[in-house]
Amino acid sequence: MDYSELSGATISERDKAFAQEFANFVNGSMCSPDQTGRELTKAHRYLQQQMFMVFFGFMKQLAYNYQQGRYDDRNEWASRLSAEAYQRLIECDLIFDPEFPTSK
């Protein structure tokens, strides 16, 4: 995975390792996204907040990718859903992101 091309930011080796391990888990070890999500809610409440921040960062990047046309048939649903949700959060003043393009 090459993250530098997406944001121009550097990423720590530990973050890269986690992202790769999570991708491997999703690609072959996960039995159910719903059950995995439910299990994550059993973590300490602070950790739930931190995990949500990781999820939100992923959703935000998918939203930007969608708006910039960086998706294909394999991830169009996730990318479009992320863009729609992210835009709605902006419209509801739940987040502030003046750089997010408002139309595809």
Could you list the pLDDT tens digit for every one of the 104 residues in the chain? Answer: 444 456 557 899 999 999 999 999 999 999 999 999 999 999 999 999 999 999 999 999 999 999 999 999 999 999 999 999 999 999 999 999 999 987 54
Specify the pTM. Answer: 0.86
Q: Compute the CA torsion angle 3, 7, 12, 13 (nearest 10 deg).
A: 10
Give the C-alpha separation, 8 to 102, whole Å.
Answer: 22
Q: Which residue matches tokens 């992202």?
A: 19
